[in-house]
Amino acid sequence: MTTTPATAVSDLDFARMLTLLERGVVTRLGEALKAEGATLEEWRVLSFLADGAGHAMTEIAEFALLSPPSLTKVVDRMVSLNLVLRRVDDEDRRRVLVFVTERGTEALSRWTTAVEHEQQSIVTALGGEEAALLAALLRRACGRLIS
């Protein structure tokens, strides 16, 4: 990704600024997770499954911000690494639920530590007050624009 000089950022439209910010945050979190042998998508999947309840692929895809085919590839890889397992839903035998394994829970703990460390680094770079303001504005915008 090429960086945009700060002076040029002020000339960008709103959507482009949001995209650049999102890419920057995702890149930083992705690099922190890569150092732990994980991807952002894998961390999101395990984070969602951490409740132990087991979830359908459609629920996981929505939470992890992945298309169903992309999620299938991620979950297949995670199954092969013994991080998650698939089980037929006892209540609806047509549905398959995904559960986190013990190994997945251990990985999630390590990965979350890496993510939290990088998130703190991002907050430090932005400044605590600005980061809190940005988070509040993003929550409000999501509440108003995303149904």
Assess if residue 16 is contained within a domain. no
Q: What is the pLDDT of residue 132?
A: 96
> Has residue 66 been placed in a domain?
yes
For residue 49, being part of any structural domain is answered with: yes
| Structural domains of the chain, count | 1
Which residue is it, tokens 């132990």? 52
Average pLDDT over residues 123-142: 95
Report which of residues 82 and 2 the model is more confident about: 82
Long-range contacts of the stretch 75-81 (C-beta < 8 A, 24+): 75/45, 77/42, 78/42, 78/45, 78/46, 78/104
Question: Can you give the residue range of the structural domain that contains 79?
Answer: 38-114
CA distance linking residue 31 with residue 16, whole number of Å: 22
Does residue 107 sit within a domain? yes
> Is there a domain that residue 92 lies in?
yes
Q: What is the CATH number of the domain that holds 53?
A: 1.10.10.10
Exposure class string for 1-10: b at 16+ Cβ within 10 A, else e? eeeeeeeeee
Residues 76-119: tens digit of each pLDDT: 999 999 999 999 998 999 999 999 999 999 999 999 999 999 99
Q: Judge whether 74 lies within some domain.
A: yes
Q: How many residues does the chain have?
A: 147
**pTM for this structure?**
0.87
